[in-house]
């Protein structure tokens, strides 16, 4: 497949992808529905356990969950009977919970609806060790540093039209195309498919965290299936190509792992999808939030422009303050004691990273954005066994992009209202209109 010709699966390739995928889709869907139907409901918790109606999937709560999270932190755990979950928001409790992988497991996925697949995100050792080992070398801190020049070139090319000033929406111009280009390069995706990958990523991520249960899932199903089969067809074609034309990229790593028996075809597909979502959504949201702060606070802009060593602190504070990944779920594989109650075996817990990162018991004056604070221990990339694989890459992308921006422009101002996305967990702005100031 040529790098400048868009991939269009033939009917035969599409049917082949469907045949490979159909059994797995049916299996994961049926198992997920069965486990959700059978899991203990939080309404069974003693009356002494506080209740909440907070639903993190509602649009107004997505836009601003923090007042509700503050109330959740008043207790070690609260229950939401409508969603059937236990909710945990204090820093110490969330931090402890994500380390208890043997008791609070991600084996049913990390969303409200269970989705059971073999992936590095959901596996426990030794499978987790096997899966992580396949990609870790190409996502290590040392390896991603090699991307610095490419990231700077991509960022500076996006900023070039802004040198004369004017108004621009930074999301379509920078925070979307730059991260998707970077993760696509790491994977080994031809340039012709970069924006298609973004479309697929958005659709799958939205479906993964969507509220509404079965009715909403059925409504989204046709579009999700179309994206699913396109991506499966594409990956099958690329893996076949790597067998004849090896390359130094992640798809080549998958091909070698499949050939050696360390990875199944379905696991390679899930891995690609996961890296695609995590590799661009997190950075897009992180960079967008920091751009908003730079536009709102002219003193902060000047401070970073004068001392670039502060950029790293600004990125970490954005991760703490903004929490691009707001929450994840875990299922109890054994009774899990917290506070004066016990989450029973099979119960589902929601762990709020966003709440933990705003806990005043951990971070003083937590609602204030302060690049000079000690952010050590923040949960912006999670923690423990399932700490974000792409953390080094996301940090590097954001720091490089901000450095380039500070070189090219003299100031930023908001030129209109910021619009926020409606993904309940992977939170970030979808429109950041900025006025570029030049001296």
> How confident is the model over 368-413, as pLDDT tens digits?
999 999 999 999 999 888 888 889 999 999 999 999 999 988 999 9
Instruction: Check residue 1 and give its pLDDT.
Output: 45
Give the mean model confidence (pLDDT) for residues 251-264.
93
Q: Which of 81, 56, 54, 78 is nearest to 326 (CA)?
A: 56
Per residue in 306-357, pLDDT tens? 999 999 999 999 999 999 999 999 999 999 999 889 999 999 999 999 999 9
Instruction: Check residue 7 and give its pLDDT.
Output: 75
- Assign residue 257 the CATH number of its domain: 1.10.630.10
**Is the residue at 98 inside a domain?**
yes
392, 141 Cβ separation under 8 angstroms: yes
Instruction: Check residue 4 and give its pLDDT.
Output: 52
Per-residue pLDDT band for 215 (boundaries 50, 70, 90) equals: low
Q: Is the dihedral of CA 287, 288, 293, 299 positive or negative?
A: positive
Instruction: Check residue 221 and give its pLDDT.
Output: 65
Torsion of CA 251, 253, 254, 258, to 10 degrees: 140
**Is the residue at 302 inside a domain?**
yes
**Is the residue at 15 inside a domain?**
yes
Cis link prior to 224 (omega < 30° from 0)? no
Q: CA–CA separation, 190 vs 193, rounded Å?
A: 6
Give me the chain's average pLDDT, please: 88
Q: Of the given ranges (2-16, 61-75, 172-186), which has the lowest mean pLDDT?
A: 2-16
State the DSSP string of 36-64: HHHSPPGGGS-TTS-B----TTSHHHHH-
Per residue in 61-112, pLDDT tens? 988 999 999 999 999 999 999 999 999 999 999 999 999 988 999 999 888 9
**Is the residue at 124 inside a domain?**
yes
Per-residue pLDDT band for 5 (boundaries 50, 70, 90) equals: low
Instruction: Check residue 2 and give its pLDDT.
Output: 45
Number of domains observed in the structure of the chain: 1
Q: CA–CA separation, 206 vs 228, rounded Å?
A: 13
**Is the residue at 252 inside a domain?**
yes
Q: Report CA-CA distances (Å) from 406 to 344, 403, 413.
A: 52, 5, 14
More confident residue, 293 or 195: 293
| Helices 391-408/265-296 angle, 10° precision | 30
Instruction: Check residue 304 and give its pLDDT.
Output: 97
Give the mean model confidence (pLDDT) for residues 40-45.
86
**Parent domain of 334:** 11-369+383-437
Q: What is the token pair recorded at 43?
A: 């309404």
**Is the residue at 334 inside a domain?**
yes
Angle 236-237-239 from CA coordinates, rounded to 5° = 65
Instruction: Flag whether pLDDT at 158 surpasses 70.
Output: yes
Angle 294-298-300 from CA coordinates, rounded to 5° = 60
Q: CA–CA separation, 43 vs 52, rounded Å?
A: 11
**Is the residue at 6 inside a domain?**
no
**Is the residue at 114 inside a domain?**
yes
Which H helix or E strand runs over 306? helix 298-306
Q: CA–CA separation, 409 vs 77, rounded Å?
A: 47
């Amino acid at each position: 497949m040529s790098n400048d010709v868009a991939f269009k699966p033939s009917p035969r390739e599409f049917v082949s992808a469907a045949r490979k995928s159909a059994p797995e889709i049916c299996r994961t869907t049926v198992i997920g529905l069965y486990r959700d139907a059978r899991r203990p409901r939080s309404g069974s918790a003693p009356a002494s356990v506080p209740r909440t109606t907070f639903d993190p999937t509602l649009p107004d709560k997505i836009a601003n969950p923090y007042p509700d999270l503050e109330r959740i932190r008043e207790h070690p755990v609260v229950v939401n009977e409508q969603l059937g979950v236990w909710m945990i928001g204090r820093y110490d409790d969330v931090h402890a919970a994500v380390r208890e992988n043997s008791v609070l497991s991600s084996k049913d996925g990390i969303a409200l609806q269970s989705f059971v697949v073999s992936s590095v995100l959901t596996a426990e050792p030794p499978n987790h060790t096997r899966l992580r080992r396949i990609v870790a070398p190409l996502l290590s801190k040392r390896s991603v540093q090699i991307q610095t020049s490419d990231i700077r070139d991509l960022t500076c090319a996006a900023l070039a039209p802004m040198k004369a000033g004017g108004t621009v929406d930074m999301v379509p111009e920078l925070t979307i195309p730059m991260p998707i280009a970077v993760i696509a390069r790491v994977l080994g995706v031809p340039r012709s498919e970069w924006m298609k990958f973004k479309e697929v990523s958005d659709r799958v991520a939205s479906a993964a965290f969507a509220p509404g249960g079965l009715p909403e899932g059925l409504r989204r199903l046709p579009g999700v299936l179309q994206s699913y089969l396109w991506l499966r067809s594409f990956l099958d074609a690329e893996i076949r190509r790597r067998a004849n034309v090896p390359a130094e990229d992640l798809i080549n790593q998958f091909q070698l792992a499949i050939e050696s028996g360390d990875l199944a075809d379905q696991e390679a597909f899930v891995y690609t999808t996961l890296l695609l979502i995590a590799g661009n959504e997190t950075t897009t949201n992180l960079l967008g939030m920091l751009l908003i702060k730079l536009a709102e606070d002219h003193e902060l802009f000047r401070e970073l422009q004068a001392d670039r060593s502060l950029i790293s602190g600004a990125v970490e504070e954005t991760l703490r303050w903004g929490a691009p990944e707001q929450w994840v779920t875990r299922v109890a594989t054994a009774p899990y004691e917290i506070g004066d109650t016990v989450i029973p075996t099979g119960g589902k817990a929601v762990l709020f990273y966003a709440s933990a990162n705003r806990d005043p018991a951990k971070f003083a004056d937590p609602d204030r954005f302060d690049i000079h604070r000690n952010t050590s221990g923040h949960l912006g990339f999670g923690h423990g066994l399932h700490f974000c694989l792409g953390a080094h890459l996301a940090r590097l992308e954001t720091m490089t992009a901000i450095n380039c921006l500070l070189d090219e422009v003299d100031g930023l101002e908001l030129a209109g209202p910021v619009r926020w996305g409606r993904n309940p967990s992977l939170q970030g702005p979808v429109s950041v209109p900025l006025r570029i100031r030049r001296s």
